[in-house]
Amino acid sequence: MEHALDITLTVNGTQVSRRVQPRQHLVDFLRDELGLTGSHTGCEHGVCGACTVRVDGEIVRGCLMLAVQANGCRVETVEGLSDSGELASLQRSFHERNALQCGFCTPGMLMAAQDLVRQKKKLTRDEIRTHISGNYCRCTGYQAIVDAIEEVVNGQS
Ligand code: FES
Ligand code: FES
């Protein structure tokens, strides 16, 4: 029997403390313990990007990081970025360009795309494709997703 561990972290600006099993993954902690189900679990081994969250400012795969590794960290999820308005431009662009169908990949895709937006650099479509190459979409064929990201990334002054 593994010993549970106490962790304290900041999630979307709020400090939370919980007792967790050492093998619980961060994405499962966010979903099951905190009810933040916007981060999805797909492959659960670091391939599909559905679980993408931000930890101390960097995007990470929530299925590859343990909850205990996030102890003391600042975690941001798609809910937090959406509530703060940080994702507003991308959300509008995805909506206008029909850059989602089933929507399963969308939270992770938005998190990865926002990482590009924050860099405030003009990018080619190839550069955008490379950046989101770790985020799988089974529905759209990616064209509309790249269009939506390109509009926001290259439309910034
Ligand atoms: S569920 Fe984490 S990368 Fe697929
Ligand atoms: S919209 Fe269905 S997986 Fe991307």
To test the pocket of ligand 2, the residue of 140, 143, 145, 149 to mutate (highest count of ligand atoms within 8 Å of its CB) is 140
| Pocket probe mutation, ligand 2, options 52, 104, 109, 146, max atoms within 8 Å of Cβ | 104
| Token pair 């599909």: residue | 48
Q: DSSP secondary structure string, 109-134? A: HHHHHHHHHTT-----HHHHHHHTTT
Q: Provide the whole-model pTM.
A: 0.95
The domains of the chain, with CATH numbers, are 5-81 (3.10.20.30), 86-155 (1.10.150.120)
pLDDT tens, residue by residue, 32-66: 999 999 999 999 999 999 999 999 999 999 999 99
Reported as a single tens digit per residue, the pLDDT across 140-153 is 999 999 999 999 99
Question: Which protein residue has the closest C-alpha to ligand 2 atom 2?
Answer: 102
Instruction: Read off the tokens for 118.
Output: 């924050």
Tell me the chain's radius of gyration from C-alpha atoms: 16
Give residue 156's pLDDT.
81
Distances (CA, A) of 66 to 27, 41, 130, 131: 8, 14, 26, 24
